[in-house]
A and B are shown apart, each in its own frame.
Chain A
Amino acid sequence: MLVFGLNEPGNLRIMATTFKDGDPSYAGALGGIALGLKSYHIFELKDEIPAEVWTREMAFKELEVEDALIEQICTIMREIRGD
């Protein structure tokens, strides 16, 4: 599985789609090759991470990002996984 730390929705969509269904632009080595890998963003996995580790590694980053962007990121990732 893949875990992303990038927050730009367009890049996230392309990368997650590429690892699941193959390169949508057919420009790269994975054009037409569906690896079927599931992708997550680290913000989606907060409940899986021990609280003290999350606080040390992620709490400040989480504060920097607008709630609306986090929701958009999570929606994109769920959509691509087919959850």
Chain B
Amino acid sequence: MSILKGHKVAIFGERDDVAGSAVRSCVLAAGAEVVYETTSCFV
């Protein structure tokens, strides 16, 4: 059973790790709906 397909997803990326835009591309390709996305910097 797919974890992502058909689910609403909020994304919290990190500038120096995995950016929100990269996570967004991945989860959209897996069939999820992105409802929020941000890329923070914790440094």
Same complex for A and B? Answer yes
The answer, among B3, B30, B42, for a CB contact under 8 Å with A8, is: B42
- A70 to chain B minimum Cβ distance, whole angstroms, is 12
Interface string of A1-42 (1 = CB under 8 A from B): 111111110010001000000000000000000000000101
Query: Are the CB atoms of A11 and B42 closer together than 8 Å?
Result: yes
Number of interface residues of B (CB under 8 A): 26
Contact flags (1/0) for A50-79 with B, using CB distance below 8 Å?
A: 100110111001000100000000000000
Chain A contact surface mostly: mixed
In whole angstroms, what is the CA distance A45 to B27 when docked? 9
Cβ-defined contact, A3 with B14, below 8 A = no
| A1-B9, A5-B12 given; A49·B26 CB < 8 A | yes
Residues of chain B touching chain A, judged by Cβ–Cβ distance below 8 Å, are 2-5, 7-14, 17-20, 22-23, 25-27, 29-30, 39-40, 42
Interface residues, chain A, with chain B CB atoms under 8 Å away: 1-8, 11, 15, 40, 42, 45, 48-50, 53-54, 56-58, 61, 65
